[in-house]
Structure 1
Amino acid sequence: MHRHRELCERAVDPLEIAAGLETHGVTDRTAARFRHRDVFSLAEELYARVPRGEATVSRTPADRADRPGPASWALTVCAPGAVAALATLGLALGTGGLRLAAGAIGVVGLFAGLVVAVRRGPLRVTAGTPTAAPLWTLGLLAYAAAGDGLLDQVLRGGPDTGPVVVTALDGPVAAADWAFDTAPLLALALSVAPAAWCAHLFAVRARHRLAASRGLADFAAGARPLLLGTVALHLALLAGLLALTGFHPGALALGALLLIARLLAVHGFAETAARALGAACAAELLALASVLAARLPGLDVIGAPVRELVRLGGPAALPALVCGCAALALLTHATEALSRASAHA
């Protein structure tokens, strides 16, 4: 009680104490030395015996007010999809300067919509996001829209050669130095709302599981399939959106990577998520650089892996492989990190 008094005084329920004890290395075996069957039982006694002052009582309503309910964030998470749909419609119907204006406004609006969506509701990170994480995310989204076309042009000897093409839902609509595909961005923007609801479902179900568990191992055993089910649900919804806008395997892998990274960031592992996003973005850029470097005399072997990958699966195989591997590695880490009670305090 003396060692963890500050934790017990500010806790609003025994579960918060149990999660805090776990972060300090207290296990069920440790709790047994104090004649308790598990950490949860020990936390309940600490919660009952340590008094909480007025500061803690006055803090609770503010904490609850800081957590917006579904009605307050349901519309904000729909903003990116709405902006992306309007921008895509403008690109498809506009001509000349109107099309250029629609594209510019769409980029700015999409960025603003994403900022609003991740600052409220279940996608909100309360502990702070690494400054580089938004840059890596924007880099990955930019590659999803223009990377495949650029890689194809580079492999063909461009990008200064060949026609300028921008593809939308109904095919080519404009000219550019390389193919610019809005379909993956549209599907990913529309998937922000389902991702938020999946994150909300995961948080609520994990909290209920924490309340019903009678040990750390019991909670971990239930949290792992809950996380896998949440990711699978989001992938199914994103696949459905991609089926409507134009299926792109790289966008599907990127959607999984972004969701898992956000879940980790929301639950206190923002640095790990940022490193995974940065590694994926760097891998895509290095792949493009290797193809360009292969043009130099004697360096043809550098671009051979990327050329062979594109030959087997097309330009979309590169982001699918990179983002898929990053998502799989991050999911492996998340199954361990998010199965701890401390991640849901």
Structure 2
Amino acid sequence: MTIDSANAGAPRRAGNRNEPERPAGRRGAVDPVKALMHRHRELCERAVDPLEIAAGLEAHGVTDRTAARLRHRDVFSLAEEMYARAARDGEEAPRTQPGPGRPGPRAYWAALALAPGALCAAVVVGLRLTDGQPRSAVAVFGALAMTPVLHIAFRRGPLSTRRRTTGAARAWTCWLIAYALVGDGLLSAARDGGPHGPWPLATAPVLALCLACAPATWCAHLFAARARRRLSASRGLEEFAASVRPLLLGAFALFVSALCGLLALCGTVLDEPPAYAGAGALGALLLLARLLTARGFTHVPGRALAGAGAAEALALATVFAARLPGCSFLAVPVERLAEAAGPGAVPALVCGAGALVLLVQAARTLTRASAHAPPCEAP
């Protein structure tokens, strides 16, 4: 039996009332855990389990090294003490169970998610039934109408970015979708010495991408809801990360499978090449960028979208620049790639590389507990 435990029940010796009481044990004259609890008082009052406190601490930059200075093995051990002390101290704010906003299914998600696909299908039908100037008018109207519809569709739900998306990221996204519509045809026409007149539009891949907004929303909600459950059930940050990583990969694979099915369906109905590689890679890139941006990780997705868009623009520019005297060598890489795998290899390569980078980033960041903390505690 130690001296501290032997004297635990002894009454405190009377002394000077003005002399500050010295807490026993590892905390010394100043209680650093109590000071940390004071700085994160709202988090401690609202938390329904220790892991939620750990997520909030991680979001504020508290690491295992910080926890070690407070004599804890990791952040979760520190969060357990903070949770226990907050409950013992009888905080006034009641602990409530997570509400439906973390996140819960909402009826209007279906209408918002289906709106881009429905509008795009109407535009495609209009393009098929018209010719000449009316066809151009339908195309312009469709392009102008899709932007606000997509904006409204993604304002709410698990793909909402809470105004974190920059203007540059939105511009590159629009360029990537525009390239999916006209890029392959323009590249083929440029390689043949054109363009001579209008080139064919790839409506099947764009229609499939718009229809894929619904499965993208559902997969994102499925991942977010299951991750929140694991956040409540896990007993440590490493355990949580190990359990969420398969959820992320499963939701991503489910979306890619749904997108491939939509590409096959649209290609069959419209009698066009489905462009599995190019449109599939673009869909994966956009989904991962949206998932990361919605959780506050905006830097890498913005760079990935800009890199993919710039690479596609550069591919077109080099083909046209090769027509200048002495500049034919500029188009050699694009020419060889197009000869080997067709013009669709350009978006497949650049968007696939960007999607791979974002998948690695998502596996690193979206498996953190702080990525699934309440919005006010997210990084």
Q: TM-score, normalised by structure 1?
A: 0.86
Higher mean C-alpha displacement, 251-260 vs 212-221: 212-221
Question: 1-side partners of 2:331 and 2:134: how far apart?
Answer: 39
Q: Check whether the contact 1:39–1:215 (CA below 8 A) recurs between aligned residues.
A: no
Cα deviation for residue 133 of structure 1 reads 1.2
Cα deviation for residue 43 of structure 1 reads 4.9
**What residue in structure 2 maps to residue 231 of structure 1?**
252
Could you list the per-position Cα deviations for residues 23-74 of structure 1 after superposition, in whole angstroms to 9, with x for gaps in the alignment? 32333992782488735524532552577677x99xx99x967967421322
* Secondary structure of 2:107 counterpart: helix
Identity across matched positions, percent: 48
**What residue in structure 1 maps to residue 62 of structure 2?**
25
Identify unmatched segments of 5+ residues in structure 1.
Answer: 165-175
Question: 2-side partners of 1:77 and 1:303: how far apart?
Answer: 40
Question: 2-side partners of 1:50 and 1:143: how far apart?
Answer: 60
Question: 1-side partners of 2:261 and 2:320: how far apart?
Answer: 35
**What residue in structure 1 maps to residue 232 of structure 2?**
211
Question: 2-side partners of 1:53 and 1:130: how far apart?
Answer: 40
Q: 1:316 to 1:79 in 2, by over 3 A?
A: same
* Secondary structure of 1:3 counterpart: helix
**What residue in structure 2 maps to residue 295 of structure 1?**
323
Cα deviation for residue 195 of structure 1 reads 0.1
Question: 2-side partners of 1:261 and 1:50: how far apart?
Answer: 43
* Secondary structure of 2:119 counterpart: helix
Question: 1-side partners of 2:90 and 2:53: how far apart?
Answer: 13
**What residue in structure 1 maps to residue 304 of structure 2?**
276
- 1:1-345 mapped onto 2 (5 Å cutoff): 1-10=34-43, 12-13=46-47, 14=49, 15-23=51-59, 24-27=61-64, 30=67, 33-34=71-72, 38=77, 40-45=79-84, 47-48=86-87, 69-126=105-162, 128-159=164-195, 161=196, 164=197, 176=198, 178-246=199-267, 247-248=274-275, 249-345=277-373
Cα deviation for residue 218 of structure 1 reads 0.8
Q: Check whether the contact 1:68–1:120 (CA below 8 A) recurs between aligned residues.
A: no
Q: Check whether the contact 1:28–1:216 (CA below 8 A) recurs between aligned residues.
A: no
Question: 2-side partners of 1:296 and 1:181: how far apart?
Answer: 29
Q: 1:180 to 1:127 in 2, by over 3 A?
A: closer
Q: Check whether the contact 1:29–1:38 (CA below 8 A) recurs between aligned residues.
A: no
* Secondary structure of 1:119 counterpart: coil
**What residue in structure 2 maps to residue 171 of structure 1?**
none
Q: Check whether the contact 2:224–2:372 (CA below 8 A) recurs between aligned residues.
A: yes
Question: 2-side partners of 1:216 and 1:29: how far apart?
Answer: 15
Question: 2-side partners of 1:200 and 1:77: how far apart?
Answer: 12
Question: 2-side partners of 1:4 and 1:286: how far apart?
Answer: 53
Q: TM-score, normalised by structure 2?
A: 0.79
Could you list the per-position Cα deviations for residues 173-197 of structure 1 after superposition, in whole angstroms to 9, with x for gaps in the alignment? xxx2x22111111000000010000
Cα deviation for residue 103 of structure 1 reads 1.9
Question: 2-side partners of 1:311 and 1:99: how far apart?
Answer: 32
Q: 1:289 to 1:224 in 2, by over 3 A?
A: same
Q: Check whether the contact 1:77–1:192 (CA below 8 A) recurs between aligned residues.
A: yes
Question: 1-side partners of 2:105 and 2:39: how far apart?
Answer: 29
**What residue in structure 2 maps to residue 169 of structure 1?**
none
Higher mean C-alpha displacement, 180-189 vs 105-114: 105-114
Could you list the per-position Cα deviations for residues 232-281 of structure 1 after superposition, in whole angstroms to 9, with x for gaps in the alignment? 00000000000011221211100000000000011110222111111110
* Secondary structure of 1:124 counterpart: coil
Q: Check whether the contact 1:40–1:214 (CA below 8 A) recurs between aligned residues.
A: no
Question: 1-side partners of 2:194 and 2:292: how far apart?
Answer: 39
Could you list the per-position Cα deviations for residues 203-255 of structure 1 after superposition, in whole angstroms to 9, with x for gaps in the alignment? 01111111111111111111211111111000000000000112212111000
Question: Which of these two proteins has the greater Rg computed from alpha carbons?
Answer: 2
Aligned residues: 327
Higher mean C-alpha displacement, 232-241 vs 100-109: 100-109
CA-based RMSD:
2.7
Aligned partner letter, 1:38: S
Aligned partner letter, 1:7: H
Q: Check whether the contact 1:202–1:227 (CA below 8 A) recurs between aligned residues.
A: yes
**What residue in structure 2 maps to residue 172 of structure 1?**
none
Aligned partner letter, 2:237: L
* Secondary structure of 1:38 counterpart: helix
Cα deviation for residue 199 of structure 1 reads 0.4
Q: Check whether the contact 1:27–1:38 (CA below 8 A) recurs between aligned residues.
A: no
Question: 2-side partners of 1:2 and 1:20: how far apart?
Answer: 16
Higher mean C-alpha displacement, 28-37 vs 93-102: 28-37
Question: 1-side partners of 2:221 and 2:313: how far apart?
Answer: 33
Identify unmatched segments of 5+ residues in structure 2.
Answer: 1-33, 268-273, 374-379
Aligned partner letter, 2:80: S
Question: 2-side partners of 1:127 and 1:33: how far apart?
Answer: 40
